[in-house]
Amino acid sequence: MPRILKFSLWAGFAFLYAPILVLIAYSFNASRRGSVWGGFSTHWYGELFRDEQILNAAWISIKVAVYSATGATLLGLLAAVAMVRFGKFRGRTLFSGLMSAPLVMPEVIVGISLLLLFISAEQLIGWPAGRGILTITIAHITFCTAFVLVVLQPRMATMDRSLEEASRDLGAGPVTTFVLVTLPVIAPAIVSGWLLAFILSFDDLVIASFTAGPGSTTLPMLIFSKVKIAVSPDINALATLIILVAALGLVAAMLLTRNRNNQQ
């Protein structure tokens, strides 16, 4: 590899990881003042688990993320089947456009538009009554589905069709074939998609801020309200834990897809 490429590889990774490593180091700093190293301590982690507000927000975020990831995975799976298996159906361009637009749409636009929809719908038909976990979940399913589709579509497009054909030749219907043959083959990609959707939902600040109601403050909303005021060591500890969860999720997702590839 040319030297310049090697350099940009290491410089790139250094740039991506330096802030994260600094953050993790600070979370073990005994001193309250961030800039002074007061010795190694896990004090801030203990503090975290005694903070009722943080625990509540974390619980809300976990619930929303589980519902959203599940909903987005179901919709993303159906959309992947349509995109990969239905060939050129009418409205395909609009369909694929609708499915991929949330990948780039600025979050403030998604957030404001969904809130205005919820409020207008409440005035017109009385649903959804107020805003909370339900409305955040609907909003998160909407933008997470696009990411699940990005994970699922290539996996479905490259799977071995002869397995499905064999199942159909042996007399199984399309639904039976899908459940017994297709699903197990693409299962690792489904789990990866679910994990990605979970993380995206769990991390979202902007869309949740628009669609949340009183009493449904998510963890990123709470973190944001704290860091706007000051850098605090307990937030460093919390951020480190969130990075750890994301890292575990990613490694799980990667191992799943890798095992799959090795089997082939």
* Of residues 128-167, those binding other proteins (CB under 8 A): 138-139, 141-142, 145, 153
Range 60-89, binding other proteins (CB under 8 A): 74-76, 78-79, 81-83, 86, 89
Tell which one of 96, 172, 185, 191 touches other proteins (CB under 8 A): 96
Residue 147: both structure tokens together: 């990411």
Range 180-219, binding other proteins (CB under 8 A): 196, 199, 202-203, 205-206, 209-210
Total residues at interface with other proteins (CB under 8 A): 91
Residue from the set 42, 158, 258, 259 that interacts with other proteins by CB under 8 A: 258
CB 55, min distance to other proteins, A: 18
Determine if 227 is a binding residue for other proteins (CB under 8 A): yes
Of residues 6-45, which lie at the interface with other proteins (CB under 8 A)?
A: 6, 8-9, 12-13, 15-20, 22-23, 26, 33-35
CA atoms of 78 and 181, how far apart (whole Å)? 16
Q: Cβ of residue 173: shortest distance to other proteins, in angstroms?
A: 9
Considering beta carbons, is residue 40 or 86 the nearer one to other proteins?
86
Select from 93, 185, 202, 92 the least CA-distant residue to 147.
202
- And the tokens for 161? 């069709």
* CA–CA distance, 11 with 15 (Å, rounded to integer): 6
- 40 pairs with which residues across the strands? 29
Nearer to other proteins, 76 or 188 (CB): 76
Least Cβ distance, residue 116 to other proteins (angstroms)? 4
Q: Which range in 39-47, 51-59, 100-108, 125-133 contacts other proteins by CB under 8 A?
A: 100-108
The rounded radius of gyration (Å) of the Cα atoms in the chain is: 22
Which of 36/170 has CB closer to other proteins?
36
Residue 191 beta carbon to other proteins: minimum distance, rounded to whole angstroms = 15
Tokens at residue 76, please? Answer: 């993303």
Q: Residue 63 or residue 178: which is nearer to other proteins going by CB?
A: 178
d(CA 148, CA 197): 7
Alpha carbon separation from 260 to 159, 185, 190 (Å, rounded) = 11, 8, 12
Candidate residues 2, 39, 126, 214; the one interacting with other proteins per rule CB under 8 A: 2
- Between 70 and 96, whose beta carbon lies closer to other proteins? 96
Binding segment toward other proteins, per CB under 8 A, in 44-52, 163-171, 181-189, 248-256: 248-256
